[in-house]
């Protein structure tokens, strides 16, 4: 509607941007409780899974304690801000405290939903312990002062790591750690923690995330994604390892629609992995192919990862998307070689010209999304958020007359909202950590350390890549971008590397982290859908992981040569 008003009537809605931001905060706040048990809750259960039953029970209580404490900080911190904050939003004319009230209500709902889930599971004793511990930590921390002399960001990082090890959701671990750090000299009181959390998620650009997620969900439900699979099969199915190559090409084509690697991994696990198994691939190898090819969805535009990077660094979204298109093509070629060399040699029947033409015509509507997103943004016709909204509307129109029902539409909107709220809460929760890292001058310390090595541009990029690989082992890509992109980007630019090129390298590097243990988000999504153990997937993914590292090395070398 905004695009129509702007170009058709040279006008627009007053306050539409601010209203969108407020509604996005509300979406995050009220969707976060529903994301407690989703894959995007970002629980690292690798360590707890190895514990004996008693140890797992204790870890579960500690995890729930972390969630309770985070919910209390959001609830009471928002309430305190609401009582202190005056003024109204300039465009909306509404009291500013309402925006913080959304998150406060969401924090309280997190505690309530957690309690209801544990009661439904019959774990009322562990619930009582977690509630008592959470409330106790909340009350005691405000009264304690523990002089340790450590930087506040280090204290926060250590507490967050403890929460992650016991399988607490990563956003909850970050918020709880930020509050616990207050007792150890952190300059961020409870109200400031909430303020930075709300500020982190109150960016208009982030509104594109729920729309892109919705577009991907509607593509799958309407059957358009299946048409993309048939088109990909008609092109490469007859080649060596044809079905695996079809999976790869499907990811390339689907990338131009969903912008979410998690969405593609879930789709591929449900539809393509069983077909690969039927055609002779081992279950772990089939899952590894799906997981590794899903990396492309956050590199080839539209890319949620590049949206987060643009928020963190103020780089041009349009330029990043174009760079992602080139990088995605390189990664796809490297994966194609790895599949050709390692996968089952069985191929599909060659499609005739008529079949290729029919499948192409059926898939053409899906490719309109790429035109809306990439061309629209790059030419300045629409903003990123407007492009995402148009993409969602476009996929909804494509679904009219297909198998979409009111229940399936509700399911698609609900799932997209849950996924968007999980991502949004993570972005907000990283805000206090990023602030403390800035206060502790972490960027200058890292810069001095790397500069002291006396390395050239290639050497600087190699060191940064190694550090990013280590970060990707334990952090979700969203949190890693928000925390480390502002630190490493100035170093790369000072070394003479183009900022856009470096931004692409950073995203590619961290996306590879979605396949590496112990976190490996994409591996755990595939494991959850296919029931193949994550350990088996991590072993089977090694050839494709090597191919992606080759593409990263080529991109790194290109940054110095070009």
Range in 154-168, 258-272, 394-408 with the lowest mean pLDDT: 258-272
Question: Residue 209's closest CA among 388, 31, 49?
Answer: 388
- The long-range contacts involving 337-342, CB below 8 angstroms and separated by at least 24 positions, are 337/547, 338/543, 338/544, 338/546, 338/547, 339/241, 339/244, 339/245, 339/248, 339/289, 339/544, 340/239, 340/240, 340/241, 340/245, 341/543, 342/543, 342/544
- Count CA atoms closer than 13 A to 512's CA, side-chain side: 27
pLDDT in tens, 218-253: 877 777 766 776 777 676 666 667 777 777 877 777
pLDDT at 256 > cutoff 70: no
Mean residue pLDDT of the chain comes to 82
pLDDT at 111: 95
The winner for highest mean pLDDT among 290-304, 439-453, 525-539 is 290-304
The winner for highest mean pLDDT among 225-234, 276-285, 505-514 is 505-514
Question: Which alpha helices (DSSP H) does 301-405 contain, by range?
Answer: 304-313, 317-342, 353-370, 376-378, 384-399
Once rounded to an integer, what is the mean pLDDT over residues 34-53? 77
pLDDT at 100 > cutoff 80: yes
pLDDT at 251: 76
C-alpha–C-alpha distance, residues 457 and 459, integer Å: 5
Token match 């033409």: residue? 357
Q: Identify the residue with better confidence: 42 or 172.
A: 172
Range in 107-116, 141-150, 329-338 with the lowest mean pLDDT: 141-150
C-alpha–C-alpha distance, residues 402 and 222, integer Å: 6
Q: Is the peptide bond before 26 cis (omega within 30 degrees of 0)?
A: no
pLDDT at 282: 86
C-alpha–C-alpha distance, residues 348 and 113, integer Å: 48
Q: Kindly tell me the sign of the dihedral angle through the C-alpha atoms of 269, 205, 194, 178.
A: positive
pLDDT at 513 > cutoff 80: yes
Q: Copy the structure tokens of residue 547.
A: 């191919």
pLDDT at 138: 94
Once rounded to an integer, what is the mean pLDDT over residues 504-520? 85
C-alpha–C-alpha distance, residues 424 and 266, integer Å: 20
Once rounded to an integer, what is the mean pLDDT over residues 484-505? 90
Show the 3-state SS of 73-140. HHHHHHHHHHHHCCCECCCCCCECHHHHHHHHHHHHHHHHHHHHHHHHCCCHHHHHHHHHHHHHHHHH
pLDDT at 401: 64
pLDDT at 268: 72
Token match 């590894």: residue? 288
Instruction: Tell me the chain's radius of gyration from C-alpha atoms.
Output: 23
For residue 88, the cross-strand partners are: 95
pLDDT at 556: 93
pLDDT at 551: 95
pLDDT at 9 > cutoff 60: no
Q: Identify the residue with better confidence: 481 or 387.
A: 481
- Count CA atoms closer than 13 A to 123's CA, side-chain side: 16
pLDDT at 289: 87
C-alpha–C-alpha distance, residues 558 and 320, integer Å: 16
Q: Identify the H or E element spanning 281.
A: none
Hey, how many other C-beta atoms are within 10 angstroms of the C-beta on 120? 8
Token match 């994301």: residue? 35
C-alpha–C-alpha distance, residues 4 and 190, integer Å: 43
Hey, how many other C-beta atoms are within 10 angstroms of the C-beta on 414? 13
With contact defined as beta carbons under 8 Å apart, do 320 and 500 qualify?
yes
Once rounded to an integer, what is the mean pLDDT over residues 70-98? 82
Residue 88 phi/psi, 5-degree rounding, is -130, 160
Once rounded to an integer, what is the mean pLDDT over residues 155-165? 89
| DSSP at 371 | I
Q: Give the pLDDT band (50/70/90) at residue 3.
A: low
pLDDT at 87: 67
Once rounded to an integer, what is the mean pLDDT over residues 47-76? 91
pLDDT at 44: 72
Question: Residue 366's closest CA among 196, 533, 250?
Answer: 250
Q: Give the pLDDT band (50/70/90) at residue 374.
A: low
pLDDT in tens, 104-141: 999 999 999 999 999 999 999 999 999 999 999 999 99
Q: Which residues contact 325 (CB under 8 A, 6 or more apart)?
A: 300, 301, 374
What percent of the chain is predicted at pLDDT more than 90?
24
pLDDT at 119: 93
pLDDT at 514 > cutoff 60: yes
Q: Copy the structure tokens of residue 430.
A: 């990283």
With contact defined as beta carbons under 8 Å apart, do 395 and 200 qualify?
no
pTM score above 0.85: no
For residue 95, the cross-strand partners are: 88
Q: Give the pLDDT band (50/70/90) at residue 260.
A: low
Range in 75-84, 338-347, 440-449, 453-462 with the lowest mean pLDDT: 338-347
Q: Give the pLDDT band (50/70/90) at residue 501.
A: very high
Once rounded to an integer, what is the mean pLDDT over residues 344-357? 65
| DSSP at 374 | I
pLDDT in tens, 177-205: 999 999 988 888 999 999 989 988 888 77
Q: Give the pLDDT band (50/70/90) at residue 423.
A: confident
């Amino acid at each position: 509607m905004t695009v129509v008003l702007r170009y058709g009537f040279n006008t627009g809605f007053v306050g539409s941007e601010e209203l969108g931001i407020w509604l996005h905060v509300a979406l995050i706040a009220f969707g976060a409780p529903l994301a407690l048990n989703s894959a995007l809750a970002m629980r690292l259960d690798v360590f707890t899974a190895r514990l004996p039953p008693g140890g797992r029970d204790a870890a579960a209580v500690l995890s729930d304690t972390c969630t309770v404490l985070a919910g209390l900080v959001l609830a009471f911190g928002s309430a305190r801000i609401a009582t202190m904050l005056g003024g109204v939003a300039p465009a909306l004319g509404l009291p500013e405290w309402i925006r913080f009230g959304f998150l406060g209500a969401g924090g309280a709902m997190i505690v309530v939903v957690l309690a209801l889930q544990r009661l439904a599971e019959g774990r009322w004793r562990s619930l009582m312990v977690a509630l008592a511990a959470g409330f106790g930590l909340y009350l005691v921390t405000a009264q304690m002062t523990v002089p340790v002399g450590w930087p506040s960001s280090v204290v926060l990082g250590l507490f967050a790591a403890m929460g992650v090890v016991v399988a607490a959701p990563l956003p909850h671990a970050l918020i709880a750690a930020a509050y616990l750090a207050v007792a150890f000299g952190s300059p961020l009181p409870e109200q400031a923690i909430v303020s930075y959390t709300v500020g982190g998620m109150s960016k208009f650009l982030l509104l594109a995330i729920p729309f892109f997620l919705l577009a991907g969900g509607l593509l799958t439900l309407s059957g358009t994604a299946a048409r993309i699979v048939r088109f990909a099969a008609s092109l490469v199915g007859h080649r060596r390892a044809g079905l695996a190559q079809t999976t790869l090409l499907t990811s390339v084509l689907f990338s131009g629609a969903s912008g979410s690697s998690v969405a593609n991994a879930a789709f591929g696990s449900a539809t393509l992995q069983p077909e690969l198994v039927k055609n002779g691939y081992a279950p772990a190898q089939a899952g590894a192919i799906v997981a590794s090819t899903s990396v492309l969805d956050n590199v080839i535009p539209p890319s949620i990862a590049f949206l987060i990077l643009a928020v963190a660094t103020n780089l041009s979204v349009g330029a990043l998307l174009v760079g992602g298109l080139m990088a995605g093509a390189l990664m796809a070629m490297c994966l194609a070689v790895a599949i050709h060399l390692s996968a089952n040699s069985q191929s599909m029947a060659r499609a005739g010209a008529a079949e290729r033409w029919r499948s192409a015509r059926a898939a053409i509507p899906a490719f309109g999304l790429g035109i809306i997103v990439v061309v629209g943004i790059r030419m300045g016709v629409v903003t990123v958020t407007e492009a995402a909204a148009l993409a969602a509307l476009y996929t909804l129109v494509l679904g009219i007359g297909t198998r979409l029902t009111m229940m399936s539409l509700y399911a698609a909107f609900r799932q997209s909202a849950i996924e968007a709220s999980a991502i949004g809460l993570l972005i907000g929760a990283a805000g206090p950590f990023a602030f403390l890292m800035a206060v502790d001058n972490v960027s200058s310390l890292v810069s001095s350390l790397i500069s002291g090595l006396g390395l050239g541009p290639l050497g600087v990029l190699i060191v940064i890549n190694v550090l990013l690989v280590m970060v990707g082992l334990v952090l979700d890509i969203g949190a890693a971008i928000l925390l480390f992109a502002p630190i490493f980007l100035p170093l790369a630019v000072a070394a003479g590397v183009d900022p856009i090129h470096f931004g692409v390298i950073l995203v590619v590097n961290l996306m590879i982290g979605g396949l590496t243990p112990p976190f490996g988000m994409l591996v755990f999504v595939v494991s959850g859908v296919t029931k193949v153990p994550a350990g088996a997937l991590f072993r089977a993914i090694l050839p494709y992981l090597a191919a992606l590292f080759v593409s990263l090395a080529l991109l790194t070398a290109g940054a110095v040569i070009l």
